[in-house]
Amino acid sequence: MPSANLAIIYYSSTGTNYKLANWAADGAKEVGAEVKVLKVPELAPQAAIESNPAWKAHVDATQDVPEVKLDDLEWADAIIFSIPTRFGNMPAQMRQFLDTTGGLWFNGKLVNKVVSAMATTSNAHGGHESTLLSLYNSMYHWGAIIVPPGYTDQSIFAAGGNPYGTSVTVDQDGNLIEDVEAAVKHQAKRTVSVAESLKKANQ
């Protein structure tokens, strides 16, 4: 079976979604995928970043992580997004990137991309599910194939049981409340498996 190209696209201010992205990369590589971990461009003013030591530290620590380009979407057979919640929706940084994909969409370049997503928030009921669903709305317009984790593995229950995508609550000290590493890796493997099956069928 041909290996799938997986782009893991994330936005992270203090590092949690970057951590999830790397766990997803580890899981995908275990099943033979070609993986790129990519960040969306930061839109926040430098003054805001400088005022938050954790935010600044993360920006400094991830300077070498490549920013996502539209070419990465064409390269990818599958895409996993990892995003924090902003008032129950995706952050502006991810929204801005998605808004640049109109040309690819118009030319049919995003059809049948296999897509899954993960989310983080600081409150247990702070918008995990609505954030994922808001991102998936854009994927319907792409004509993408959404692959949620559902309840396909026991690790999902240990991670809080979100069938739309792995999600985690983060406390004020940056600690992850739920144990999600195994669920993230399972979600990545499931996404790659579907992408590989589709790629094989189209050869």
Domain ranges of the chain: 5-201
For residues 93 and 82, what is the distance between their CA atoms, to the nearest angstrom?
12
| Residues 161 and 151: beta-carbon distance below 8 Å | yes
Instruction: Round to whole Å and give the CA distance between 83 and 39.
Output: 10
pLDDT of residue 2: 60
How far apart are the C-alpha atoms of 37 and 68, rounded to whole Å? 9
Residue 154 makes CB contacts below 8 A (sequence gap 6+) with: none
Give the whole-angstrom CA distance, residue 14 versus residue 187. 23
Tens place of pLDDT for every residue, the chain, 203 residues? 568 999 999 999 999 999 999 999 999 999 999 999 999 999 999 999 999 999 999 999 999 999 999 999 999 999 999 999 999 999 999 999 999 999 999 999 999 999 999 999 988 888 899 999 999 999 999 999 999 999 999 999 999 999 999 999 998 888 899 999 999 999 999 999 999 999 988 87
For the chain, the C-alpha Rg in angstroms (whole number) is 16
- For residue 158, what are the contacts with CB-CB under 8 A and spacing of at least 6? 178, 179, 182, 183
Q: Look at residue 115 and give its three-state secondary structure.
A: strand
Q: What are phi and psi of 151, to 5 degrees?
A: -120, 60
The yes or no reply on domain 5-201 and CATH 3.40.50.360 is yes
CA distances (Å), origin 147, targets 5, 30, 102, 151, 186: 15, 19, 22, 12, 12
According to the model, what pLDDT value does residue 104 have?
97
Residue 164: closest CA among 149, 144, 181, 176: 149
Question: For position 3, what pLDDT does the model report?
Answer: 87
List the one residue out of 148, 147, 2, 4 whose CA is nearest residue 75: 4
Is residue 160 within 8 Å of residue 170, measured between CB atoms? no
- Report the C-alpha gap between 139 and 148 in whole angstroms: 12
User: Is residue 122 a contact partner of residue 172, using CB atoms and an 8 Å limit?
Assistant: yes
Give me the pLDDT at residue 173, please: 81
Length of the chain (residues): 203
